[in-house]
Amino acid sequence: MTPDFTFERAAEAQGYSRIAGVDEVGRGPLAGPVTAAAVVLDPENIPEGLNDSKKLTKKARTRLYDEIMQVADVSIAHATVEEIDEHNILRASHIAMVRALEGLKTPPDYALIDGNMIPRGLALPSQTIVKGDSLSQSISAASIMAKICRDCVMLSLAQQHPGYGWETNMGYGSKKHMDALQKLGATPHHRRSFKPVHNILYQE
């Protein structure tokens, strides 16, 4: 199963013309922001090979990132660790999604959103699609953009905070990351509301 333009065509049939795909990455990591992307593709110029970013090689993701940037309206946004801890990861993901939509050069008139929940406060007509990054080309494009951008953030943070392995685990709770948490403690970029971090910070 590969994503296609069926959902976008259905929205066009309802009279919408600027349809944005929206996806986020980084719900599961113990550190770093959650990142969302919104992408409005040109129906006449869709890059070949779009798919869920998790199903693509790093080389394919990088190629598609460059191609999407050239032919689409792209916006990438984050919700910070502080916002994740203040609200919760789901709400923070939705905040990032709304920010990404608001950051597009030309406002969209419809949004296709990966998942099963429309973000609170989103006034735009929209539709949720479970596993949308495998079904909608616009959402798969957004998943690629968000993944590449968040990985770049984590690579930068890994240079500032060596030892946690963020350059490879991207903030997820790998053994190296968990061992470093025990040994080095938490950085300002750790999500204190996440149980593994909380337990280490506040252990007896």
From the annotation, which residues make up the binding site?
A: 23-24, 114
Return the DSSP state at 118. Answer: P
Which residues are part of a known binding site for a divalent metal cation? 23-24, 114
Element (H, E) at 23: strand 19-25
Q: What distance in Å separates the CA atoms of residue 33 and residue 2, rounded to the nearest whole number?
A: 29
Half-sphere exposure of 198 (CA within 13 A, CB side): 5
Q: HEC string of 41-108?
A: CCCCCCCCCCCCHHHCCHHHHHHHHHHHHHHCEEEEEEECHHHHHHCCHHHHHHHHHHHHHHCCCCCC
CB-CB contact of 34 with 84 (8 Å): yes
